[in-house]
Amino acid sequence: MVLDFKCPQCGGGMEYDSELGKLQCRSCGFEQAVEDAPEIEEDDSVSVEPFDGGSIPDEAEFSNETEEKETSLYGEEQEFFCNSCGAAIVTEPEVSATHCPYCGSAVAFGERLQGKLAPDKVIPFTVSKEEAKAGFRKWAKNGLLTPKDFMTEKRLGEITGIYVPFWLYDMHVNAEADCSCTKKRSFRRGDYIIHETKHYHVYRRANLNYKKVPADASVKLDDTMMDLLEPYDYRRLRKFEPGYLAGFQAEKYGVDADGLLMRIKNRVSEYAQSYIKSTIKGYSTTTYNSQNIMEEKQQEYYTLLPVWLLKYEYKGESKIYAMNGQTGKVVGKPPISGARVAKWISILYGGSFAVLTLLSYFMV
Ligand SMILES: [Zn+2]
Ligand SMILES: [Zn+2]
């Protein structure tokens, strides 16, 4: 099922506008609330029925059925037809929203946004394409030191706004530590210097709650890069509506919530350990006799987060630069052209000391 976002007034294509926070028609300017845009109609053939133990005759039949449903949900490379121009749209299996390559209409694929694949939450784009272009330009210092073809208007025009799939977890952590600590001091009494060591038994227990700890569930984008894009402001989370996707790319998750849980448990365990550590203060030495950390998942939310991507082929390597589509934060350093740096330095200074300092600055 292909969702399109047609203007109720003129039939033109509508796209989500980050400034208005609404859909806007590209032809006549008509505005529409995201909630009023087309909804995904649940299709029985792929929806997942709630588990009902009583109605399953035997195990073999049940597992068979499950497998069949899994296949149809995740879908192989599939052909969709554009509602506006009728052209066949072939996409990679993880893409859930894109533009029709023939007529440019915004489309979303219902099958990849429903059932288990239905997002719970979304943070809409607040950085518009124009703002993103300006942000990349500033980040690359207007292209003064980057290779000549890096900051061209054409390349900037090709930046892609993509909703990247994340899992957000509410976690509860029960942390317990048992330590032996000492306080040491030395003082003079008469002709003697006294070294005094007092021993303490220190016990800590904490119940900690961590809300909305994120893990990126995209198969395509690099985890480290996505981690560096944080933080997002989760106060601006909205209930998911397909209309937010109009005009952007979107990807469905490639790893399910359980698949990333270990990563999140390790992360909150570290938070809890450093919290406990911060409460044991004022001792000369601390020795942990035992430490117990129990992490428990309370809830998870399948969430789409906004990212602007800039792709660049450099010396035969394809590179991706990413910007947080809510805050404008860019990850990484732009490619630096050695020739251009040298040119600027010779104009500005000409001295070898300046060359070294500047080079070390840019090559970090
Ligand atoms: Zn219109
Ligand atoms: Zn089309």
Residues that place a CB less than 5 A from ion ligand 2: 82, 84-85, 87, 100, 102-103, 105
Is the distance from CB of 161 to CB of 247 less than 8 angstroms?
yes
Half-sphere exposure of 260 (CA within 13 A, CB side): 22
- For residue 137, which amino acid is it? R
Domain spans, the chain: 2-124+160-166+216-253+303-327, 171-209+265-299
Q: Ligand 2 mean position to 258 CA, how many Å? A: 37
Q: Ligand 1 mean position to 17 CA, how many Å? A: 14
pLDDT of residue 339: 76
Three-state secondary structure call for residue 243: helix
Q: Ligand 1 mean position to 12 CA, how many Å? A: 5
Exposed, middle or buried: residue 88 (CB in 10 Å: 0-12, 13-18, 19+)? Answer: exposed
pLDDT of residue 57: 34
Q: Ligand 1 mean position to 15 CA, how many Å? A: 11
pLDDT of residue 361: 54
- For residue 196, which amino acid is it? E
Question: Could you tell me which residues come within 8 angstroms of residue 339 by beta carbon, excluding any fewer than 6 positions away?
Answer: none
Is the distance from CB of 16 to CB of 23 less than 8 angstroms?
yes
CA gap 45, 73 in Å, rounded: 10
CA gap 62, 31 in Å, rounded: 47
pLDDT of residue 107: 92
CA gap 39, 242 in Å, rounded: 7
CA gap 44, 187 in Å, rounded: 81
Beta bridge partners of 164: 305
Is the distance from CB of 246 to CB of 106 less than 8 angstroms?
yes
Q: Ligand 1 mean position to 122 CA, how many Å? A: 26
Q: Ligand 1 mean position to 38 CA, how many Å? A: 15
Is the distance from CB of 286 to CB of 201 less than 8 angstroms?
no
Joined together, the tokens standing for residue 7 give 């203007």
Q: Ligand 1 mean position to 23 CA, how many Å? A: 11
Question: Could you tell me which residues come within 8 angstroms of residue 186 by beta carbon, excluding any fewer than 6 positions away?
Answer: 193, 194, 195, 196
Ligand nearest to the CA of 4: 2
Neighbours of 120 (CB within 10 A): 15
- Over the chain (364 residues), the average pLDDT of each successive run of 10 is 90 93 94 86 47 35 36 56 89 90 90 92 96 93 81 87 95 96 94 94 95 90 86 93 94 93 95 94 95 96 96 82 95 80 66 52 51
pLDDT of residue 338: 76
> Structure pTM?
0.78
Torsion, Cα 120 123 128 134, to 10 degrees, reads -130
pLDDT of residue 145: 79
pLDDT of residue 351: 52
Q: Ligand 2 mean position to 88 CA, how many Å? A: 8
